[in-house]
Amino acid sequence: MTRPFTLQQRLRTVILVPAVAGALALGGLAIVQFGDGSPLIGILAAAAAAVLVTLGFLGASRTTQDVQAALEDTIARGRAIETGVAPSPSPAANMEDLRPLNAVLEDIHEQHRVVRAQSEAIAAGALDSPILDTPTPGPFGPAIRGSIDGLRSTTDQLRDAEAVKASIMDHVSDAIVVVDANDEIVASNAVAKVALDLFGGSMDDAIPGWKDLTIGEHDFSRTLTDGSLTLTQVSTSRMMTSSGAVTMLCWRDVSGERAVQAQVAHVARTDIVTGLPNRQGVLAAHDRLHDLSRSASVIHIDLADFSQINQRHGFKEGDRVLQTISKRLTEVIRTSDTVARVSGDEFILLLESQGDNVDGLARRILDRIAEPIELENGATISLAAHAGWSTGEVDGEYELLRRANYALAEAKDDPDSVSSYSAEVAQRDENRREWEQQLRRAIANDEFVLYAQPIVDIFERRVLGVEVFLRWQHPSGRLISPGDFIAIAEESELIVDIDRWVIAKTIEQAAASDPSIVFSLNVSTRFMASPLMTKFVTTTLATHGVPAGRIQIDVTETNVAADVRGVIESIRSLNEVGIKVALDDFGTGYSSLAHLLKLAVSTIKIDRRMVSMVNEPEGRGVVAAILAFAKKRKLTVVAEGVESEEEVAALADLGCRFQQGYYHGHPADLVEMLDSLDSIPFQTLDEGADDDEDDADGAAAATAAAAASGPASASVAEQPGTPATASA
């Protein structure tokens, strides 16, 4: 039966284990401390300390002298191991008692040997030495082992990285050479070796003047023995290494690359049809003159009706005509000047001069252009053109080009077909730009308001809907009519913002008003031909929960003429979502009928000029013909600009029941007008259209009643003091 530990024994166990460990740790510290001097002393000191502590705790069985002797013996043995001199035996020592201590010392000795061999192997860089595979003994074994493994793995990684770097160096297409402070090559890649071999291994021959190159990129060209010219690009950089500063030179032949770049740039700046510079080309030429701070003249030429040539004679003939024109233009200028084709039928001449008679030259050019051109198909044609020109200093903003372009627009209204950017033109241009700026601000500051005019059914004496007109509430207090600013807005993208505003505001109002009112809108040519328009209208309708049938869009002849295809497409998509379209100002253009047949409109609005002639036989005949045609095609007809009782009567007599004009109501603020319409029973334009089957007799009878009782919707017509137009 085992005896339970006494308290003293337990205490000894508890204290002994950490004490030995602590002593070993101290020894370890000593190894680290004296590592480069005498690690053995450290180990021995540790061992001695361990012995002391151990013996101390072993307690009563050992005398102080025993311990003293044992300690001395231990130290003497340690010295012997260090010095190789055998110790004289200690008479006081009881050798039996020292046996376990000897074993400890042997063990420590072995640990020391292995660790020393391993440190030596590491110091010698012999990471593949078998000693490093020997398990490191002792309490620090795992830590030392970890360090050895870590060192081996780091060395492997470095070795790999070195190999990858060497491989990259050899695979880049640039030659790379690293030279030291004495201009000696300390490293180079495979390409550099080949490149240097071509020059007998001499850097001076491979890269003449390389020692004087500054840090950065340098190009140098040279003629080779076969006479060909090469272009070399050298880039130099400097860096610090442990053995001092080195310079790295990378170089390559860029002759081919540069040739391709130049070719690409040339193609990008050249018009394929004529071989002349294109818009990019003329801009580049302009930039060159600007860099040289020169003055210049610009003539901008626009061929009139050129598209007709393509249409009548085909694109091939069209291209040939352009080539002939470009040849003629090239003949009238000097080689230092630039002639460019900047769009299908527009040319720009950039003349590096100030004193020339540019106006005379512009006229001569138009004469040259007008000379007959014989086509391959035997036909002979003659082209008209317009020219606008400007002259002055070449700035960085292409102002000369812009001015010539502005003058060209003026030339189109000039009987001479030539216009310069004169003081007068400049003033107009300045005004236009000022307007444009103000319009921009007006959009940002929400300076627009909507006016509206009622559209009435004179037979039923009801208001069917309203046509919405835009007004600009200028900060000066003036109310400006669209006629004064729409054209300017149309020259820029501003118009689309305005159109969006009108559409959104109108739909917002429609949502808040009686659901039977139809709102007619005017949209610019630009937006009318855009596929985005229908999308914008439908999304806005959806946002406000307004049915598509409550909006109608007026298109004008000018809208259609500007982009027939775009407008046809817009009308189709509007119809598809249930939005009706009216052809505005009908009867004014000779092509009205032609357009009407192409367009899927549901309403025709007879123009005010036609209406004002309705009491003359000719005018009456035209209106009657329009009404008959519309009836046949089931189109609604609205007479616009009805100003007098006589006109109302004459129109009614012809059966034109839907009317709009000052007689029935001046345009007034939309919100106020809608408020005053609240009490009136409405019907939509479409319901009116269904009644179109009414015969003329019925119409005449209703007219008499309407004319006798005055304006159909008196409450609207009597809107107080509303200006017809802002300028009023």
Cα dist from 34 to 22, 30, 41, 45, 76, whole Å = 18, 6, 8, 11, 19
CB-nearer residue toward Ca ion: 667 or 688: 667
Closest approach of ligand C2E to the CB of residue 461, in Å = 18
Helix (H, G, I), strand (E, B) or coil at 123: helix
Residue 643 makes contact with ligand C2E by CB under 6 A: yes
| Kind and range of the H or E run holding 597 | helix 592-598
Residue 641 makes contact with ligand C2E by CB under 6 A: yes
Residue 725 makes contact with ligand C2E by CB under 6 A: yes
Closest approach of Ca ion to the CB of residue 586, in Å = 11
| Alpha carbon distance 510, 547 (integer Å) | 9
Of 576, 571, 491, nearest to 526 (Cα)? 491
CB-nearer residue toward ligand C2E: 211 or 535: 535
Question: Would you say how long the chain is, in residues?
Answer: 728
Contacts of 685 (CB under 8 A, 6+ apart): 455, 464, 465, 518, 552, 580, 603, 636, 638, 658
| Alpha carbon distance 340, 630 (integer Å) | 50
Window of 129-137, 185-193, 255-263, 516-524 that interacts with ligand C2E by CB under 6 A: 516-524
* 336: amino acid identity, one letter: S
Closest approach of ligand C2E to the CB of residue 470, in Å = 3
CB-nearer residue toward Ca ion: 457 or 554: 554
Which residues from 486-505 bind ligand C2E, rule CB under 6 A?
486, 499, 502
CB-nearer residue toward Ca ion: 347 or 527: 527
CB 180 within 8 A of CB 243: yes
Closest approach of Ca ion to the CB of residue 310, in Å = 34
Contacts of 24 (CB under 8 A, 6+ apart): 46, 50, 139
Cα atoms in the 13 Å half-sphere on the side-chain side of 87: 15
| Residue entry with tokens 């308001």 | 449
CB-nearer residue toward ligand C2E: 138 or 665: 665
Task: Pick the binder of Ca ion from 337, 460, 554, 557 (CB under 5 A).
Answer: 554
Closest approach of ligand C2E to the CB of residue 385, in Å = 31
Residue 522 makes contact with Ca ion by CB under 5 A: yes
| Kind and range of the H or E run holding 219 | strand 216-223
Window of 63-71, 271-279, 317-325, 581-589 that interacts with Ca ion by CB under 5 A: 581-589
Answer left, alpha or beta for residue 584, where phi above 0 means left and psi between -120 and 50 means alpha: beta
E-strand ranges in 336-437 read 338-343, 346-351, 373-374, 380-381, 385-393, 418-420
Residue 667 makes contact with ligand C2E by CB under 6 A: yes
175-179: strand order across its sheet: 185-188, 175-179, 244-253, 229-241, 216-223
CB-nearer residue toward ligand C2E: 195 or 716: 716
CB-nearer residue toward ligand C2E: 43 or 468: 468
- Pairing of the two strands 462-473 and 479-480: antiparallel
- Pairing of the two strands 373-374 and 346-351: unpaired
Structure token digits, residue 106: 């042997």
| Alpha carbon distance 403, 385 (integer Å) | 18
CB-nearer residue toward ligand C2E: 271 or 554: 554
Closest approach of ligand C2E to the CB of residue 340, in Å = 35
CB-nearer residue toward ligand C2E: 236 or 660: 660
- What is the CA 229 to chain-centroid distance, rounded? 40
Neighbours of 416 (CB within 10 A): 12
Window of 79-87, 268-276, 316-324, 661-669 that interacts with ligand C2E by CB under 6 A: 661-669
Window of 2-10, 211-219, 343-351, 517-525 that interacts with ligand C2E by CB under 6 A: 517-525
CB-nearer residue toward Ca ion: 522 or 534: 522
Residue 584 makes contact with Ca ion by CB under 5 A: yes
Instruction: Output phi, psi for 615, to 5 deg.
Output: -95, 5
Closest approach of ligand C2E to the CB of residue 665, in Å = 8
Neighbours of 187 (CB within 10 A): 14
CB 636 within 8 A of CB 685: yes
| Alpha carbon distance 401, 540 (integer Å) | 40
Closest approach of Ca ion to the CB of residue 556, in Å = 7
Task: Pick the binder of ligand C2E from 121, 276, 523, 670 (CB under 6 A).
Answer: 523
Window of 26-34, 77-85, 445-453, 550-558 that interacts with Ca ion by CB under 5 A: 550-558
Closest approach of ligand C2E to the CB of residue 655, in Å = 20
Residue 540 makes contact with Ca ion by CB under 5 A: no
Closest approach of ligand C2E to the CB of residue 401, in Å = 30
Window of 235-243, 345-353, 429-437, 522-530 that interacts with ligand C2E by CB under 6 A: 522-530
Window of 245-253, 311-319, 515-523, 695-703 that interacts with Ca ion by CB under 5 A: 515-523
CB 538 within 8 A of CB 577: yes
The 462-481 contact track toward ligand C2E, x by CB under 6 A, reads -------xx----------x
Number of residues this chain uses to bind ligand C2E (CB under 6 A): 23
Window of 343-351, 409-417, 660-668, 694-702 that interacts with ligand C2E by CB under 6 A: 660-668
Closest approach of ligand C2E to the CB of residue 254, in Å = 56
* 430: amino acid identity, one letter: E
CB-nearer residue toward ligand C2E: 341 or 608: 608
Which residues from 593-622 bind ligand C2E, rule CB under 6 A?
608
Residue 557 makes contact with Ca ion by CB under 5 A: no
Residue 509 makes contact with Ca ion by CB under 5 A: no
CB-nearer residue toward ligand C2E: 457 or 554: 554
Instruction: Output phi, psi for 245, to 5 deg.
Output: -75, 140
Of 250, 246, 230, nearest to 238 (Cα)? 246
Residue 585 makes contact with ligand C2E by CB under 6 A: yes
CB-nearer residue toward ligand C2E: 410 or 607: 607
| Alpha carbon distance 407, 392 (integer Å) | 14
CB-nearer residue toward ligand C2E: 346 or 490: 490
Of 352, 346, 359, 355, nearest to 334 (Cα)? 352
Q: By the criterion CB under 6 A, which residues form the site for ligand C2E? A: 453, 469-470, 481-483, 486, 499, 502, 522-524, 554, 584-585, 608, 641, 643, 661-662, 667, 724-725
Q: By the criterion CB under 5 A, which residues form the site for Ca ion? A: 522, 554, 584
